[in-house]
Amino acid sequence: MLIDMSTSTSGAQARPTARSGRRHDDAPDTADLFARLATLECGPERDAIRDELVTVWLPMAHRIAGRFRDRGEAVEDLRQVAALGLVKAIDRFDPERGAFESYAVPTITGEVKRHFRDRMWALRVPCRVQELRNKVRLARRALTQTPGSPEPSVADIAVHTGLTEDEVSAGLEALESFSTLSLDAELSGDEEGYRLADTLGVADSSYDVVIDRESAKEGLRRLPERERAILYMRYFEDMTQSRIADRLGISQMHVSRLISRSCARVRAEALGQRGTDGRAVAA
């Protein structure tokens, strides 16, 4: 939904109009309009009065949006969000509960804050971290207002905000993490450049092999020499059970049983499964 920033009606011209430089104590007198709006059902007349109220109060919404400039969002987009908040405030306002401005200001401000919370962060960030980010950002601005002021340290910001240095560090990290960067983003560094994804490591499957071998070493040492020789011929020399049987002068079925039993003992040894006599239990 887009709000026409240039919309005006004859009714709005008959009343004090709001300008971008208007102060809060110079708000337009729209009490009669709100009283009429509350008595009307949906229809052209109600829509006309509603549009008139939006036009008159729109400068206030723009003023509130201006408080959030320089936070990574375009001012025009913030004005649109504030205008939507204004429309919500007009639709929900009860004239019997006081001045419209007292109700509209927190409503519009909350709408803009929700926009930053829900739409601006590329990743969902806990509200506490967002609060720390805002406190740190405001503190850095306050501490560097004087020309030539050095960049404040973590300790300086902590003293200024009353936060711990760990909390300040978290806020500073959040300042640098407002948006995400595509893994396909090109990075400079040489003539051809490279992608961000090229700088990320990957899991090396060889580590699992190293762990498995180290876990099996002790169990292999405990095997009788013939069983160790059979496992070596089968898994390191890639010999078939029939060839192993021919070399050792035993049946292929016996070789199969010895391999199964030896593997079970080594596996049990690696997993720390021992019987009451201290020997590994075959699984």
Chain segment 151-196, per-residue pLDDT in tens: 888 999 999 899 998 998 888 887 766 566 667 777 665 566 677 7
Record: fold of 206-271: Arc Repressor Mutant, subunit A (1.10.10)
| CA–CA separation, 151 and 149 (whole Å) | 7
- Using one digit for the tens of pLDDT, what is the confidence trace for 17-37? 333 334 444 578 888 888 888
Q: Angle at Cα 27 formed by Cα 24 and Cα 33, nearest 5°?
A: 145
User: 164-178, 216-230, 269-283: lowest mean pLDDT where?
Assistant: 269-283
The dihedrals phi and psi of 83, each to the nearest 5 degrees, come to: -65, -40
- CATH number of the domain at 121-180, please? 1.10.10
Closest CA to 139 of 115, 158, 167, 111: 158
Q: Domain residues of the chain, as ranges?
A: 10-120, 121-180, 206-271
- CATH number of the domain at 10-120, please? 1.20.120.1810
| CA–CA separation, 34 and 11 (whole Å) | 13
Closest CA to 86 of 107, 65, 68: 107
* 206-271 matches 10-120 in CATH topology: no
pTM for the predicted model, two decimal places: 0.42
The neighbouring-strand residues paired with 187 are 194
CA distances from 203 to 181, 200, 208 (A): 22, 10, 10
Name the DSSP class of 118.
Answer: I
